[in-house]
Chains A and B, each alone.
Chain A
Amino acid sequence: MTLHWKPRAYYRILRNAFISDLEYRSSYYILFAASWITVAMELALFRQIYKGRPEVGGLPASVVPAFIVLGMFLRYGSTLWSMISECVEEIRNGNFRRFLIQPIHYPSYFFAKAIGPKIPTWTLSLVTIVALKFFPGFDALLPPGTRLPFLVAAALSYVLIWQIYLLIVYLGFWFEEAHFLSVAFNIGVGILSGSLLPLDWLPDAAVRFLRLTPLPLLGDFPMRTGLGRLDAGEFEIRALQALLWILALIPLLAWTKRRALRSYESFGG
């Protein structure tokens, strides 16, 4: 098997995607402003749930602003789906064949293309999180000792979500309308991963089921890490779980990719 792994080439793709996206700077300002609309909506809901109470369902009221901001940052991972959507479209219209004759590793190519345009937004939101530390009400945000573990947990969750999206792309080889899977996933992931509301607030049966899936590792795990709400030794266990999921998905992705390419019938044979 030839793996066309050329880091410098993919770095250039990433940089080009980053630069070309910066041509439309207003998009970033709008995306950033739009994030605060989501924050306002969440804050409104939490206000109504707490109604001045110091703690609800094990989550102190003082932690809520930090919880909302971290959740917003983690849900940026799901913006990677725009590239997936493009991928599925390429399969659908037959253009995907160009990736089969080029000397590239197209999952890496797409990853670089997906990450590039998101860098400014992610950087901006990370800077915001750091800046918010200096504002009253955000004391619970990334307390000392949690910053590096949070970045590790967030990175693991981003890789995991990317793998899930990639799986959806490969499913697109069999049924061309795979878009809806990523849309449905994006809609559900906020609440089911615990980045919109604390996971423990959901009905117990739902929580028990969700713990068997990788979903809590996309939201609940990095959130609790960033808020310093993990028990001793819990970070290592959860990080190991995330790693195991990532490793388990690698052969599954490779197998699906092989089967998918075999079933692919693009224009031009």
Chain B
Amino acid sequence: MDRIRQSLATLARCFAIWGALVRNSFVRSLEFRLEFVGRAVVEVVWMGSQILTFQAAFRYAADLGGWTPSEMWFFIGTLLAFDGLYVTFMHPNQNQFGALLRNGQFDFYLIYPLPSLFLALFRFVNVHGIINVALGLGLTVWAATRPDIHVNVALWLLYGLLGMGVVAGLAMLVTTIGFWTIQNANLMWFFFELYRLGFRPESFYASWLRRILLSIFPAAFFFSVPVQLALGKLGGFWFVWPWLLVGVLMSLVAVTWRAGLKRYEGALS
């Protein structure tokens, strides 16, 4: 009972500190308002280019990989919204982790009264990513209200967040390699390139690549599977796989993190 109470207290402390970090990041970002506007422009251009690409494609095909235009807009909206969450809360941390290890600043993570993995995942917040989330949600809502599709909102939210769990698990696994390689910027970059494979539904790809995206590098679970579950295009065991995947990935992250910490020599020790 004491252990549960202790864990809950740690969790509450994590959230309280995280709230303060988000507030600080937000204030810091607004110091450069033009940059904030600029980032918004970038996100609008990105969304526009995605829409233009698929609009051009739908001029010549009634459906793409079994996806109607409404379903595709719903997919792109979801992609933007959840990718925005990832860019906001996790990407800046994974990007900077290698540098923290190299210059010894990771030592400070170890002396904070918080789990070091939590800090490594959520220390920095990129407030600009919120723009992505807002734009994505706008497109998602617009697509979801079109008459030719039916969306289960609860499933969309639940499995969308699980998809983020899969992304976080994989990204953290790659990040922890930094404990062994020190210079992991290229690996991270390659991970983000592979991550982009999830920007298309897996039914677009050739069967061999589809199999890889559903198993070895499960990019299909980032956005495509959650959207298909919410649209009722998938059912049965597909409801279980994302939970299993998140469980396995998080366990692996915990193991590699502990092994990495044992290996870490630090700058101050």
Question: Are B48's CB and A177's CB within 8 A?
Answer: no
CA distance A262 to B194 in the complex (A): 45
Which residues of A from 1 to 41 have beta carbons under 8 Å from B?
24, 26-27, 30, 33-34, 37-38, 40-41
Number of interface residues of A (CB under 8 A): 36
Contact with B along A31-71 (1 / 0, CB 8 A): 00110011011001101110100001100000000000000
Number of interface residues of B (CB under 8 A): 34
Given A40-B205, A48-B204, A180-B35: A191 and B49 within 8 A (CB)? yes
Question: Is A113's beta carbon under 8 Å from chain B?
Answer: no
Q: Which residues of chain B come closer than 8 Å to A187, judged between CB atoms?
A: 42, 45-46, 49
Question: Are A197's CB and B38's CB within 8 A?
Answer: no
Residues of B at under 8 Å CB distance from A? 32, 34-35, 38-39, 41-42, 45-46, 48-49, 52-53, 55-57, 59-61, 64-65, 186, 189-190, 193-194, 196-197, 199-200, 204-206, 209
Q: A37-B197, A177-B32, A177-B34 provided; 17 other pairs, C-beta below 8 A?
A: A34-B190, A38-B196, A40-B197, A41-B199, A45-B57, A45-B64, A45-B204, A47-B206, A57-B59, A177-B35, A179-B38, A180-B35, A188-B48, A191-B49, A196-B53, A201-B57, A206-B52
Q: Which residues of chain B come closer than 8 Å to A201, judged between CB atoms?
A: 56-57, 59-60
8 contacts between A and B (CB under 8 A): A24-B186, A40-B197, A44-B205, A48-B61, A48-B64, A188-B48, A191-B49, A197-B56
Q: Which residues of chain A come closer than 8 Å to B42, judged between CB atoms?
A: 180, 183-184, 187
Question: Are B190's CB and A45's CB within 8 A?
Answer: no
Given A180-B42, A184-B42, A187-B42: A41 and B55 within 8 A (CB)? no
Which label, helix, strand, loop or mixed, suits the secondary structure of the B interface? helix
Question: Are B190's CB and A30's CB within 8 A?
Answer: yes
Question: Are A37's CB and B49's CB within 8 A?
Answer: no
Which residues of A from 152 to 204 have beta carbons under 8 Å from B?
175, 177, 179-181, 183-184, 187-188, 190-192, 196-197, 201-203
Question: Are B186's CB and A203's CB within 8 A?
Answer: no
CA distance A63 to B45 in the complex (A): 29
Q: Which residues of chain B come closer than 8 Å to A190, judged between CB atoms?
A: 49
Question: Are A49's CB and B190's CB within 8 A?
Answer: no
Cβ distance A224 to chain B, nearest Cβ, rounded Å: 17
CA distance A179 to B64 in the complex (A): 35
CA distance A38 to B200 in the complex (A): 11
Cβ distance A122 to chain B, nearest Cβ, rounded Å: 19
Question: Are B34's CB and A175's CB within 8 A?
Answer: yes
Q: Which residues of chain B come closer than 8 Å to A57, judged between CB atoms?
A: 59-60
Q: Which residues of chain B come closer than 8 Å to A49, judged between CB atoms?
A: 57, 60-61, 64
CB nearest neighbor in B for A40? B209
Cβ distance B231 to chain A, nearest Cβ, rounded Å: 18
